[in-house]
Chains A and B, each alone.
Chain A
Amino acid sequence: MSEINVDTVKHVANLARIEMQDEKAAEALTEELSKIVDYAHLLDEVDLSSAEPMFHALDLTNILREDVAGEPLSQEEAMRNAKSVEDGQFKVPKML
């Protein structure tokens, strides 16, 4: 029995802010993701009790740059790829 059903997929799609209104698409995704998650359960048979999680490949810590002011992007450059701009600001639909 898979832990993923259509409701899980819709819930996760909402968290990821991806519209999921088409029932058929949601069902297809449910089936595909179930197969993948079921396969991932292969890991259940491994004894991992003494292993530390490895979040990164290299042991680098505190990589800091010199505290010197650099040349940032101009406002114009930073906004050049935006589709909707007004008075030098990003324009978005109403929030509530």
Chain B
Amino acid sequence: MNIHELTVEELYGKIQAKEIKPSEVVKALFDRIEASDDTIGSFLFVNKEAAMQQAEKLDQLQQEDKMTGALFGVPMGIKDNICTKDILTTCASRMLEDFNPVYDATVMEKLNEDNAVLMGKQNMDEFAMGGSTENSYFKITRNPWDQKAVPGGSSGGSAAAVAAGFVPFSLGSDTGGSVRQPAAFCGVVGMKPTYGRVSRYGLVAFASSLDQIGPITRNVRDNAKILGHISGSHTKDATSAPSMDNDFLEGIDKDISGMKIAVPKEFMESVDSEVSDSVKKAVETFKSMGATVEEVSIPHTKYVVSAYYLIASSEASSNLARFDGIRYGYKAEGAETLEEHYKKTRAEGFGDEVKRRILLGTFVLSSGHYDQHYIRAQKLRSIIEDEMKGIFKEYDLIIGPTTPTAAYDLGEKADNQLKMYKDDILTVPANLTGMPALSIPSGLASSGRPIGLQLIGDHFDEKKIYNAAYKFETQYNLHEELKQLQMEVQ
């Protein structure tokens, strides 16, 4: 039995059946991480001592038949912008290099209650700003499918670790595609839930009206299971939605014949031919299972990237004002006045991309530009929502590509921000509207790098997404390819 190949459900089942001890699972994965993560670079740091101690306690409970918690003994990796009490949370920034949160994020409270085991914190673009994980202050992460390629971003460490078999699941955060795009690049499954489905309390804020935490897994069922366990409102996040049915596994294998699926033609116009071929094949797969698939239009698609960057940067400039070097985080030396202290701290603590976005946002919100840029961007947002809501009156789901291309080479777009921004055209509509969206593998490019298919649902329609994705996965998946890959990584 190869422990690293086991899914969340398999690991949980084998631990419950006492076929394997939690400490054996945790140790096997740490051995793997220690042997191979030097080349992949998915973890910023591992939590070995605490995880091993916890696992031994779980061993004891297993022996005494006192196993509680829906993820008892299942290891996890967490993106490093999600607060973990007394465990470093750096956002891959010099600004938070030595920051130890004094509380757990809501999602961590839930996963800890479920007795999942935290293996470590994962690399990302600094403050989640970027699409390749090359903006980390600490290091780059490589794509396990091809080490010359980026893993995507900003949750690149999380997606790479799941693909490489270091952990069966991770949590990332998605503001403009930061869970779905790296999931697509690394051949795994990534969900951006409906805005408000998952509490953001303890997620270091980037753009508060767009951010959502979501699971990254190797298959659809695991993804649905993890989302169920992290969902629910929290009094400390007033934007989290009141609790509702969070059992996403229920009905996941329902027949999808009669399901109505829409493919926006604008999405297909934005991608390279290998990606569009992969989506066309997926369309045939859905049809073969009895779904109806038709072309639709979201006419304002070409404007979403402009609107997104104006809004996200504005919110970021406001959110990142909290980093003052006084209450926590990096503090510059030698400042003589308070103003000088702020300016030096922020100039030295933030990386280039973070500064660019803060300055862009400050510009957009500054007098004379607010109406012209900010308000107009927010108006475009409501137009996109109207167009997508109109589609959902007639269709169950929207599908299309997750990204315009498969993963590109490290360094290829590092100096061209605008080019990288434009790649977000397919993922930002779900963030602007707050709708749920999932990426699943739908093919391999001729380079051997994975291609992702995106399924977008109406607000709180995650169940429909998981149902269609699960059925698709029974017809096409990369499970064997991932196992092969994991043998090579070891």
Contacts and interface: CB of A to CB of B under 8 A. Distances in A.
Given A32-B356, A33-B360, A46-B300, A57 B209 contact: yes
Interface in B322-355: 325-329, 331, 335-344, 346-347, 350, 355
A83 interface: yes
Given A9-B359, A36-B418, A43-B306, A17 B328 contact: no
Interface residues of B, number: 69
Interface in B44-97: none
B196 interface: yes
B239 A52 contact: no
Please give me the 7 A-B residue pairs with the lowest Cβ-Cβ distance, nearest first: A57-B434, A81-B328, A53-B378, A19-B347, A54-B382, A19-B343, A51-B379
Interface string A48-63: 1001111111101001
Majority SS at the chain A contact face: loop
Contact of B331 (A13, A83, A96): A83
Given A51-B383, A93-B341, A43 B359 contact: no
Majority SS at the chain B contact face: helix
A65 B317 CA distance: 28
Given A18-B358, A92-B326, A37 B433 contact: no
A55 B378 contact: yes
The size bracket of the interface on A is 35 or more
Contacts of A40: 306, 309-310, 373, 377
A82 B345 CA distance: 13
A73 B85 CA distance: 13
Given A57-B209, A92-B341, A18 B346 contact: yes
B292 interface: no
Nearest to B334: A93
Contacts of A90: 326-327
B320 to A, nearest CB: 9
A16 interface: yes
Given A19-B347, A57-B434, A94-B336, A48 B379 contact: yes
Given A16-B358, A81-B99, A94-B336, A53 B329 contact: no
Contact of A33 (B356, B375, B433): B356
A16 B313 CA distance: 12
Given A12-B359, A42-B302, A60 B241 contact: yes
B339 A42 contact: no
A74 B411 CA distance: 46
Interface of A: 4, 8-9, 12-13, 15-20, 29, 32-33, 35-37, 39-43, 46, 48, 51-58, 60, 63, 65, 73, 77-84, 90, 92-96
Interface string B89-112: 000000000111011000000000
A92 B358 contact: no
B376 interface: yes
Interface in B369-417: 373, 375-383, 385, 417
A42 B422 CA distance: 13
A7 to B, nearest CB: 12
B138 interface: no
A93 B334 CA distance: 10
A36 B361 CA distance: 11
A13 to B, nearest CB: 6
Given A81-B329, A84-B331, A43 B380 contact: yes
A16 B338 CA distance: 14
Nearest to B349: A18
